[in-house]
Amino acid sequence: MSPDAGLRALRDAIDELDEQILSQILKRGHIVQQIMALKGSLGLDAFDPQRETEILGRLTADRTQPFDPGQVKAIFKAIFHASLDLKDRERWQRLQVKRRDLVPQEGIMVGGVSVGTGGPVLFVGPCSVETPQQMDAIASFISTLPGKKILRGGAFKPRTSPYAFQGLREKGLRILRETGDRYGLATVTEVLDVSTLDVVAAHTDMLQIGARNMSNTELLKAVGGTGKPVLLKRGFMSTLEELLLAAEYIVSSGNSSVVLCERGIRTFEPWTRNTLDIAAVPLLKLETSLPVIVDLSHSLGRTDIMLACARAALAAGADGLMMEAHATPELALSDGFQQLDCEGLRRLVEGLGIGIAADQTDSRASSAGARRNPTAQSASAGGPS
Ligand code: PEP
Ligand code: MN
């Protein structure tokens, strides 16, 4: 046999072996699935480290040449991991947050505002509720903006320093509610713990779970029990998988009205307060039908690049934007440096073209603002220009 013909024959033999190995691995995968189903019905854990060690020991006890035992172990470990991944993927696909029918056609209703359909919603207002006058000054302006708006304002504040302004608590909740009602604006405010959940829920249309609390599983379960819409922020050190599993806690506790919020994550980049992870928007939308919004203020910590990032967020598919705004940011009791003033807010909304495009599919959404604001009646919640 010529060297050429010999090489071809050897390659043919390898190809045939690869086919056989693949078909054996696939067969093994099917058996693993059956074992896992049985283990599941018996309440046993899918991963059995002792059995894995025994199998590896048996397989490498003799005849590993031309490989050494470590290489054979590595090959089989890869096969074992692929089998366990099968289980993980199956479990992932069965999550409630993966259900495509989770969000009703009209979107998630917050007061009269639908989130998730009919154009972007602006979640806008000061970092903290400070005084009735401060809230009135900014809300009266917000109510004149076109498009869909929800008034934000923190009453229970999760501050990094215990010496920083901690919020007006119940008094702040009352001011937020009264201001929202005066201007026909739905409201969102943060709930910090289970002990204050009832009072917060009684005063607001939507509950915010902040970045620091995304992993507070008791709080997630408790807000799941309220039936109130929830704005769930991504923790600043959390993966998207962890965010979705946090949402799963709420949804599996009986509340599917969850809006996800990308608010920036911690990286080594100091030029923004956090790093806005724009890819989070389309990635979350691949995995879930829950609406996704972007908090520009806490991700950027600055206002000068907000319009460009807002455009990017909407272009990436965000269902809304959060911006902190204050009539006099220089006097704000928290996060003054990142809050827009009224003029900045007007320019941002104009720059996004909100109110210009004519596709207003959600008539109920504009009705709240329209009660006080005649211009809002023709307003649209269109995307970026
Ligand atoms: C907030 O929105 O007021 C806030 C504290 O944001 P985060 O939880 O994203 O830091
Ligand atoms: Mn803030």
pLDDT tens digits, one per residue of 21-63: 999 999 999 999 899 889 889 988 878 888 889 999 999 998 8
Of 128, 198, 120, which is closest to residue 158 (Cα–Cα)? 128
Decide if domain 3-94 falls under CATH 3.40.50.1820. Answer: no
In the chain, what percentage of residues exceed pLDDT 70?
92
Q: What is the 380 CA–ligand 1 centroid distance (Å)? A: 28
In the predicted model, is pLDDT for residue 157 greater than 80?
yes
CA of 266 to the centre of ligand 1 (A): 14
- CB within 5 A of ion ligand 2: which residues? 127, 335
Give residue 107's pLDDT. 97
State residue 49's pLDDT score. 83
Q: How confident is the model at residue 1 (pLDDT cuts 50, 70, 90)?
A: confident
Least confident segment among 18-22, 27-31, 257-261: 27-31
Residue-level pLDDT at 175? 98
Query: Given this model, what pLDDT does residue 86 score?
Result: 86
Give the residue, by CA position, lying nearest to ligand 1 atom 9.
211
| Alpha-carbon dihedral angle through residues 271, 272, 275, 277, given to the nearest 10 degrees | -120
Give the DSSP H or E segment for 322. strand 320-324
In the predicted model, is pLDDT for residue 252 greater than 90? yes
Q: Distance, CA 300 to ligand 2 centroid (Å)?
A: 11
Task: Name the band, by pLDDT with cuts 50, 70 and 90, for residue 152.
Answer: very high
State what percent of residues in the chain have pLDDT above 90: 84
pLDDT at residue 375 tops 60: no
* pTM, two decimal places: 0.84
**So what's the pLDDT on residue 273?**
98
Segment 218-244 mean pLDDT: 97
pLDDT at site 113:
98
CA distance 171 to 374: 31
Give the per-residue pLDDT at 360: 42
Which tokens go with 384? 């970026």
Ligand 1 atom with minimal separation from the 264 CA: 9
Tokens found for residue 246: 């946090």
Indicate the pLDDT class of residue 87, thresholds 50, 70 and 90: confident
CA 221 to chain CA mean position, Å: 17
Q: How confident is the model at residue 368 (pLDDT cuts 50, 70, 90)?
A: very low
116 pLDDT more than 50: yes
| Residue 362, pLDDT above cutoff 60 | no
Confidence band for 355, pLDDT divided at 50, 70 and 90: confident
Q: What is the pLDDT of residue 325?
A: 98
Protein residue closest via CA to atom 4 of ligand 1:
210
Instruction: Kindly tell me if the per-residue pLDDT of 246 is higher than 60.
Output: yes
Ligand nearest to the CA of 324: 2
Q: Is the CB of 210 under 6 A from ligand 1?
A: yes
Relative to the alpha carbon of 154, which ligand is closest? 1
Q: Tokens for 338?
A: 């990142």
- Say which ligand is closest to the CA of 339: 2
State both tokens at 96.
């409630």
Per-residue pLDDT reduced to its tens digit, 192-221: 999 999 999 999 999 999 999 999 999 999
Q: Is 234 in the pocket of ligand 1 (CB under 6 A)?
A: no
Taking the C-alpha atoms of residue 250 and residue 244, their distance in angstroms, rounded to an integer, is 10
Residue located nearest, by CA, to atom 10 of ligand 1: 211
Residue 376 has pLDDT above 50, yes or no: no
CA–CA distances in Å: residue 125 to residues 7, 270, 297: 73, 25, 11
Find out whether the beta carbon of 126 lies less than 6 Å from any atom of ligand 1.
Answer: no
Q: What pLDDT shows up at residue 370?
A: 37
Q: Could you tell me the two tokens for 281?
A: 């928007």
Give yes or no for residue 361 having a pLDDT over 50.
Answer: no
Q: Is the pLDDT of residue 365 over 70?
A: no
What's the confidence (pLDDT) of residue 382? 34
pLDDT of residue 384: 30
When pLDDT is cut at 50, 70 and 90, the band that residue 356 belongs to is low
Task: For residue 297, report the distance from its CA to the centre of ligand 1, in Å.
Answer: 9
Q: How close is the Cα of 347 to the center of ligand 2, in Å?
A: 21
- Check pocket membership of 203 for ligand 1, CB cut-off 6 A: no
Q: Which of 11-25, 257-271, 345-359 has the lowest mean pLDDT?
A: 345-359
Confirm or reject: Cβ of 233 under 6 Å from ligand 1.
yes
In the DSSP assignment, the letter for residue 160 is: S
Domain ranges of the chain: 3-94, 108-382
Which of 209, 298, 300 has most ligand 1 atoms within 8 Å of its beta carbon, as the pocket-test mutant? 298
- Mean pLDDT estimate for the chain: 91
Give the number of whichever ligand sits closest to the CA of residue 155. 1
152: left (phi over 0), alpha (psi -120 to 50) or beta: beta
| CATH number of the 108-382 domain | 3.20.20.70
Q: Is the pLDDT of residue 377 over 70?
A: no
- Confidence (pLDDT) at 48: 83
Confidence of residue 374 (pLDDT cuts 50, 70, 90): very low
**pLDDT of 108 over the 90 cut:** yes
